[in-house]
């Protein structure tokens, strides 16, 4: 009897010069054509790049990496979807670690160099029943932009740090090899390892810093992060405060 080799489809890397938003384009594409996991749409320029909570993501034409990747997690309960943020942020951090020191992850999934933001992500998850069926991971990494003129509070690019231009294609390939490794770990059920790495990589992981919530400013240290992604802060009275994304902000010096 003849055995058929199982066919594993190769991920596609689709390059476009200009689009409104790679997240939106990838979603439209997937509505028309199935793409294998790790497929990417990368754009030289987004005319309406989307940030978190309806903000605009600004990125100078041709200078930075702006792309979206599709993952199909297997049997991942929706209440554990924060692990996708963790693996995406870890993959960007480890990609950038090869170029500079000082990279960390600011909860939930910004990537920072010192006190400045070098990467933002917009993750859009689609559910099937109680599980995650598909994840569209949109990532903007500031690479070769020399000056930021928009109103983002604290942007920085890799060029501003290392004073060298980097090849965007190379950085994308490096990111893809990290996310593939982390996704394999996720499929193997290694949630604890992923969480431990994420905690180790956290911005302001130790010591007390000022934070701001609906009640005002307070000083606290990070106590933990729940599998749901909620941030636990311990204030100076010892009280543990629990926050969802955007219920608390870090006070950053200018
Ligand atoms: C943020 O920090 O506010 C998230 C920014 C996410 C930007 C990326 S760029 C590629 C992808 N396409 C989008 O429209 N947004 C994400």
Residue 7, pLDDT score: 64
Q: What's this model's pTM, rounded to 2 decimal places?
A: 0.95
Residue 92 CA to ligand 1 center (angstroms) comes to 14
Residue 249 CB neighbour total at 10 angstroms: 12
Residue 142 CA to ligand 1 center (angstroms) comes to 11
Could you give the CA distance from residue 236 to residue 161 in angstroms, rounded to a whole number?
35
pLDDT tens digits along 216-232: 999 999 999 999 999 99
The candidate with the shortest Cα–Cα distance to 96, out of 174, 39, 180, is 174
Q: Which residue has 């000082």 as its token pair? A: 102
Residue nearest to atom 11 of ligand 1 (CA): 138
Q: Do you find a cis peptide bond into 19, omega within 30 degrees of 0? A: no
Q: How confident is the model at residue 1 (pLDDT cuts 50, 70, 90)?
A: very low
pLDDT tens digits along 136-195: 999 999 999 999 998 888 999 999 999 999 999 999 999 999 999 999 999 999 999 999
pLDDT tens digits along 97-153: 999 999 999 999 999 999 999 999 999 999 999 999 999 999 999 999 999 998 888
Could you give the CA distance from residue 168 to residue 170 in angstroms, rounded to a whole number?
5
Q: Encoding tokens for residue 22?
A: 């790679």
Residue 67 CA to ligand 1 center (angstroms) comes to 8
Residue nearest to atom 6 of ligand 1 (CA): 121
Percentage of the chain beyond pLDDT 70 is 97
Which atom of ligand 1 approaches the CA of 110 most closely?
A: 2
Helices (H), ranges, the chain: 22-32, 82-97, 158-162, 168-187, 191-200
Q: Name residues contacting ligand 1 (CB within 6 A).
A: 21-23, 46, 49-52, 55, 57, 66-68, 110, 120-122, 138-140
Are 18 and 45 in contact by the 8 Å Cβ rule? The answer is yes
């Amino acid at each position: 009897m003849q055995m058929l080799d199982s066919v594993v489809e190769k991920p596609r890397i689709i390059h476009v010069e200009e689009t409104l938003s790679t997240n939106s384009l990838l979603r439209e594409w997937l509505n028309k054509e199935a793409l294998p996991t790790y497929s990417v749409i990368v754009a030289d320029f987004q005319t309406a790049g989307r940030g978190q909570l309806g903000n605009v993501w600004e990125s100078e034409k041709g200078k930075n990496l702006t792309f979206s990747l599709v993952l199909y997690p297997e049997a991942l309960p929706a209440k554990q979807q924060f692990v996708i943020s963790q693996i995406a942020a870890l993959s960007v951090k480890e990609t950038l670690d090869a170029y500079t020191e000082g990279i960390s992850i600011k909860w939930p999934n910004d990537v920072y160099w010192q006190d400045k933001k070098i990467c933002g992500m917009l993750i859009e998850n689609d559910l099937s029943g109680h599980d995650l069926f598909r994840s569209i991971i949109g990532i903007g990494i500031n690479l070769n932009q020399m000056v930021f003129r928009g109103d983002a509070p604290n942007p920085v690019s890799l060029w501003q740090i290392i004073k060298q231009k980097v090849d965007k294609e190379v950085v994308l390939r490096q990111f893809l090899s990290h996310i593939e490794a982390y996704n394999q770990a996720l499929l193997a059920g290694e949630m604890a390892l992923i969480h431990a790495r994420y905690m180790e990589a956290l911005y302001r992981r130790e010591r007390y810093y000022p934070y701001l919530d609906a009640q005002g400013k307070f000083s606290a240290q990070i106590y933990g992060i729940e599998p749901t992604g909620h941030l636990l802060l311990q204030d100076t009275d010892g009280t543990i405060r629990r926050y969802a994304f955007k219920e608390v902000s870090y006070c950053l010096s200018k």
